[in-house]
Amino acid sequence: MKRILIALLIFMTAPLGMAHATGYGDEKKTARDFVNLLEANNLIIHDQAITWTVQQITDRLANHIKEPVYTFKVYVVKDRSVNAFSIPDGDIFINLGLLLFIQDLDELSAVIGHEMGHCQLRHYSEDVASSKKITAATILGVLAGTLLSSKNPEAGAAMVLSSVGGSENIRLAYSREHEYAADNFSKEINIASGVDPSGMPRFLIRLRTFYGFSDIPEYLLTHPYTENRIMNMKEDSGKPAPDNNYWMLYASVVGLSLTESEVNTRSNHIPEPYKSLALGLMQTRIGKNSQALKLLQGVDLPLAYEYRGLNLYAIGKNAEAYAFLKDYAKSPIGMVALAEILQGRNQLDEAIKTLLPLQSQSVRVDYTLGTLYEKTNKPALAHVSFARYFYRTENSKACIYHIDEALKAKDLPKDTVDELKMMKDMMKKGPQNME
């Protein structure tokens, strides 16, 4: 928690030129700092079983934007509140709670399109530029704070009122005009993409109905004017139409992120084979490998094959596990298992190649890469991987040691050097100065 507080302080008191972020270069750095802060605290999900569908929807919508301002990147956040938000540089964040709440992918597409509208129409930058005191970095610092330090896991990123310099209040909500414009933008690109535009009014109506007026969910706070927005859309809300892609996403979110009791409850409403998939994923997470294998045995889905491989590896059947993992492993945990099997076969370069696409996305990936680089006599890269590992596990002494050793190399890419210096700065200004 101490590192979190220092990180937020550094972020919110950034130099003014970067903090206002009204230019594209400044926006990119501010956004990168925000993402790095969430990454450092393990709040961003990298499991492709969850992220792939969300990014595919984003890419499809982006293909129908004329002269896009940004290259849109979507992140899934480990937060159970029903929320989505966007920041400068075209980064969009979807909370796990929203993925559990939607009832088909048209609703998700509508929400993503709405956030893309705020980015493409540069609403965020307009709001920052119109204020003499509020900066982009300060707003994002408050937003990060709600995600990082809230004691209530349901709180998430809501409309936040926070004192700045004792006088200025921050309101993380868009204006009425911006909300209408983003809704219309979403409707247009969804229609152009062949998506039913009824997703957004259906989503908002159910959200308001479900929560009532006394406990308004975060999405309605950060994206207000609900009734008027629904009327402005002039769309029949229709009925949800969940397809196989929706059930695949839903089963993945349920099986990979919820408690055993909640998985058991929610799985009763999931059709086969996705019900067995969700239960099999959950049984894998809690180490009941034999039960997981039984559940996944008849499920003809790529993710089921990956997790069959993981469970076979867990019980020591490496040859059988390899047959599945070499073709189906996509997640960090699956790729690490595959790399460890390759390492056992002394195929070290192949093991490294397997993990490279996932570096900095998982502490297990970073640690395994570090050991592999050591064994292949690549000390600088080993130090980089171990620095990332100890940074995310908050071991400042070990992290700084590996950073210093890595920086002795003269051929590291500039982005890597910048990353190491940022981590060292965070560690040096962190816990020891908070005692």
DSSP 63-79: TT-SS-SS--EEEEES-
Domain edges within the chain: 2-233, 248-434
What's the mean pLDDT when you consider all of the chain?
A: 82
Rounded to whole angstroms, what are the CA distances from 337 to 19, 30, 326, 386? 42, 35, 10, 19
Higher pLDDT, 241 or 433: 241
State the pLDDT at residue 153.
Answer: 36
Amino acid present at 195:
V
The proportion of the chain whose per-residue pLDDT surpasses 70, expressed as a percent, equals: 74
pLDDT band at 11; cut points 50, 70, 90: very low
Closest CA to 143 of 182, 100, 93, 178: 93
DSSP, residue by residue, 389-420: HHHHTT-HHHHHHHHHHHTT-S---HHHHHHH
Cis omega (within 30 of 0) for bond into 273: yes
Closest CA to 144 of 154, 156, 134, 162: 156
All residues at 6 or more sequence positions from 237 whose CB lies less than 8 Å from its CB, including other chains: 198, 201, 202, 205, 230
Which residue shows structure tokens 């998939």? 277
pLDDT at 135 over 90: no
State the pLDDT at residue 142.
Answer: 54
The mean pLDDT value for 230-250 works out to 83
pLDDT band at 251; cut points 50, 70, 90: very high
Higher pLDDT, 161 or 141: 141
pLDDT band at 10; cut points 50, 70, 90: very low
Helix and strand element counts for the chain (H, E): 25, 6
Closest CA to 301 of 355, 247, 259: 247
- Could you tell me if 323 and 309 are in contact, meaning their C-beta atoms sit under 8 angstroms apart? yes
Q: How far apart are the C-alpha atoms of 329 and 340, rounded to whole Å?
A: 13
Q: Per the structure block, which two tokens stand in for 195?
A: 């998506």
pLDDT digits (tens, 9 = 90+) for 399-420: 999 999 999 999 999 999 999 9
Name, of 12-16, 17-21, 422-426, the range with top average pLDDT: 422-426
The mean pLDDT value for 219-231 works out to 61
State the pLDDT at residue 386.
Answer: 98
The C-alpha torsion from 147 through 150 and 152 to 158, rounded to 10°, is -50
Q: Under CATH, which number does the domain 248-434 receive?
A: 1.25.40.10
Q: How far apart are the C-alpha atoms of 131 and 126, rounded to whole Å?
A: 9
Q: How far apart are the C-alpha atoms of 126 and 433, rounded to whole Å?
A: 37
For the ranges 100-114, 144-158, 410-424, which has the lowest average pLDDT?
A: 144-158
Name beta bridge partners: 46.
none
Q: How far apart are the C-alpha atoms of 330 and 338, rounded to whole Å?
A: 10
Name beta bridge partners: 93.
75, 85
State the pLDDT at residue 421.
Answer: 93
pLDDT digits (tens, 9 = 90+) for 321-360: 999 999 999 999 999 999 999 999 999 999 999 999 999 8
pLDDT digits (tens, 9 = 90+) for 20-72: 445 666 677 777 877 877 787 788 999 999 999 999 999 999 999 998 888 89
pLDDT at 159 over 50: no
Which residue shows structure tokens 């993380």? 172
pLDDT digits (tens, 9 = 90+) for 73-93: 999 999 888 888 888 788 899
Q: How far apart are the C-alpha atoms of 17 and 296, rounded to whole Å?
A: 54
For 320-366, the three-class secondary structure string (H helix, E strand, C coil) is: HHHHHHHHHCCCHHHHHHHHHHHHHCCCHHHHHHHHHHHCCCCHHHH
pLDDT band at 190; cut points 50, 70, 90: very high
State the pLDDT at residue 220.
Answer: 61
Q: How far apart are the C-alpha atoms of 200 and 187, rounded to whole Å?
A: 8
Q: Per the structure block, which two tokens stand in for 293?
A: 């294998």
The mean pLDDT value for 278-283 works out to 98
What predicted TM-score, i.e. pTM, was given to this entire model? 0.83
pLDDT digits (tens, 9 = 90+) for 284-300: 999 999 999 999 999 99
State the pLDDT at residue 174.
Answer: 58
State the pLDDT at residue 387.
Answer: 97
